[in-house]
Amino acid sequence: MSNMKATLLVRNRIVYSESSFAELILWHLPNPVEGSTHRFKYRLAYIVDGICVMRYDNERKKGDHHHFGEKEDAYIFVSPEQLVADFQRDIERWNNENRST
């Protein structure tokens, strides 16, 4: 199994408006990334006006975490499906909290 390669599962860009989009990248790995206990490597980002305002990722050594605006918190990874659901929920939250008046 050590000669297994990483498999790209998702690489998708979802356009929400002229000024916002989400980018989702998810890999299945032969071994966990250092700092994570599962065999997925991911980066899900929400970009508004050219700025990444929200992101879920698992950087090497840092493990699973998410950024919401300037705030960074640990994230408990359950499954790829739950990751995407949490990300979509936070996009809705961001849009609700940052509506133009």
Sequence-ordered alpha helix ranges (H) in 1-101: 80-97
Phi, psi at 92, each rounded to 5°:
-60, -45
How many other C-beta atoms can be found within 10 angstroms of the C-beta atom of residue 99? 7
Instruction: Extract the tokens encoding 26.
Output: 């998810």
The residue-averaged pLDDT of 6-10 equals: 95
Residue 1 scores a pLDDT above 50: no
Contact present, 46 and 32 (Cβ < 8 Å): no
- Each residue's pLDDT tens digit, 20-67: 999 999 999 999 999 999 999 999 999 999 999 999 999 888 899 999
pTM of the model: 0.89
Mean pLDDT throughout 13-25?
A: 96
CA distance 54 to 44: 8
pLDDT over 70 at 2, yes or no: no
